[in-house]
Structure 1
Amino acid sequence: MALTDIDVQKQIKHMTAFIEQEANEKAEEIDAKAEEEFNIEKGRLVQTQRLKIMDYYEKKEKQIEQQKKIQLSTMRNQARLTVLRARDNLVLELLRDAKERLSRVVLDVDTYQELLDKLVLQALLRLLEPVMIVRCRSQDLHLVEAAVQRVTPQYMVLCQKHSDIQVDQDAYLVPSAAGGVEVYSGDQKIKVSNTLESRLSIAALEKMPEIRRTLFGSNANRKFFI
């Protein structure tokens, strides 16, 4: 039985509808698959960027924390140095005050003469040279000459030897010197300084721990004391 045009048209229309339905279903499947892959990729990218952002801010936080530690350490060191400078300045002021007091000691002639005798004898006994030259301030020349005359017999008794002891009348200690003497070997290559400043420096060096302890108290971090 031959198909009429109407039947053919119906079959064609049915087939077309079927093909369109399959095409739509396939398109929906492709869209769904694409949406799923998009969401997966989007989630991956979001997670990656989130991790990058977290890592970036974690590093920033560590950098800031490190900078804070460095700044705090710097501030502590600066504060410590400021305190140490203030302490050193106080010690220097104390030593300057001590030197000023020394300059007043020499005003008492009897006391200063007795001190010069001891300083000259001590320097001679430290040097023990065949020829020794005693140098002093120009204003102390007569006092030092008297000291040399007095202590020379003591020196010879103590060391059991004769030395030529001279008082330098050509060169003197600097005008700013507080007092005392310097004693040189005959060739002036060896010197013993027994000026008031040198004695003060030696005493200050020996007593510095005690001075600092008196002024600033004991160091809490120090475990051993000599």
Structure 2
Amino acid sequence: MSQIHAMSDDQVNTELRKMTAFIRQEALEKAREIQLKADEEFSIEKSKLVRSETSRIDAEYEKKNTQAGMSQQITKSTLANKQRLRLLSAKQELLDGLFEDAGKQLADKGKKGGQDVLKGLILEGLYALNEKKVTLRCREKDDEAVKKAAEAAKSEYKENMKGKDVEIVVDDKDRLPEGSSGGITITNGTGKIDINNTFDERLKLLETDALPSVRTTLFGENPNRKFKD
């Protein structure tokens, strides 16, 4: 205490200024530490927020990109299916027209008699049945042509079968419909076996049996695979 009382006013002021400067310096250092700590924490939080927001934006973008890709794929698939159906429809329309024209030509052939064709149909039935007697049915308008064709077929059958004869009867009661394309049906002697060699029936068989070849010729399709397009 005696030393303090012994200090002059100038000395006291000097000591006070030193203490004040020291305290100020300590305060500034502490303030800088606090500021650095605050900046560091702010930077960390900011980085977290930036990463979180970036991840959210990336996820949202990926989701929208995936949705856009799916939508594009669906659109492409829909267009492809529509194109496939249009192509299928066009092909079927062409085939229907082709067989329709064939049916008209058969009808015209039937109107003109088509004796050579009738002979071939009768012979086919004779060889298949291999019987002593058969009965033919035809349209009434084809009666004369069928009888002539039957005589020719009978002679050829006998020659090819080494003299085996066959009786051919043309049914004058049970006729084929006049609206049909013509041709014949052949029944064996007991009436239990019937071969349908009408033009309409042969065309139906052609549509089934020759369809793969027709598709190959028209569209270049492989007949060994199922039609897909």
Question: In structure 2, what is the equivalent of residue 7 of structure 1?
Answer: none
Residue 79 of structure 1, CA deviation: 1.6
Say which of 155, 179, 182 aligns to 1:179. 182
Query: Contact conserved, 2:137 with 2:176, CA < 8 A, in 1?
Result: yes
Matched, 1:196 2:209: no
Structure of greater Rg: 2
The DSSP-based 3-state class of the residue aligned with 2:181 is coil
Q: Is residue 154–residue 165 contact of structure 2 (8 Å, CA) maintained in 1?
A: no
**Structure 2 unpaired stretches of 5+:** 6-12, 225-229
**What corresponds to 2:8 in structure 1?**
none
The percent identity for this pair of structures is: 35
Aligned match of 2:126:
124
Aligned residue for 2:175, secondary structure, equals: coil
Are the structure 2 counterparts of residues 79 and 207 from structure 1 closer, same or farther at C-alpha, using a change threshold of 3 Å?
closer
The TM-score with structure 2 as length reference comes to: 0.67
Give the superposition deviation at 1:202.
Answer: 4.9
The letter for the 1-side match of 2:120 is K
Is 1:44–2:48 an aligned residue pair?
Answer: yes
SS of equivalent residue, structure 1 residue 154: helix
**Structure 1 unpaired stretches of 5+:** 5-9
Would you say 1:101 and 2:81 are equivalent positions?
no
Summarize the Cα distance change of 1:16–1:76 in structure 2 as closer, same or farther, 3 Å threshold: same
Secondary structure of the equivalent of 1:71? Answer: helix
1:115 equivalent in structure 2: 117
Distance 1:170 1:51, change over 3 A: farther
173 and 46 in structure 1: CA distance in 2 versus 1, 3 angstrom threshold: farther
Shift of 1:142: 4.3
Q: Which residue of 75, 83, 88 corresponds with 1:84? A: 88
> How does the TM-score come out when normalised to structure 1?
0.68
Alignment partners' CA distance in 1, 2:155 and 2:130: 14
Q: Superposed, which structure 2 residues align to 1:155-174 within 5 Å? A: 155-159=157-161, 161=164, 165-174=168-177
Paired residue type of 1:55: A
Secondary structure of 1:176's counterpart equals: coil
CA distance in 2, matches of 1:42, 1:187: 103
C-alpha deviation, 1:61, in angstroms: 1.7
Q: Provide the secondary structure at the position in 1 that maps to 2:111.
A: coil
Task: State the distance in 1 between where 2:206 and 2:28 align.
Answer: 107
Residue aligned with 1:125, SS = helix
Note if 1:64 corresponds to 2:68: yes
- What is the root-mean-square deviation of aligned Cα atoms in Å? 4.1
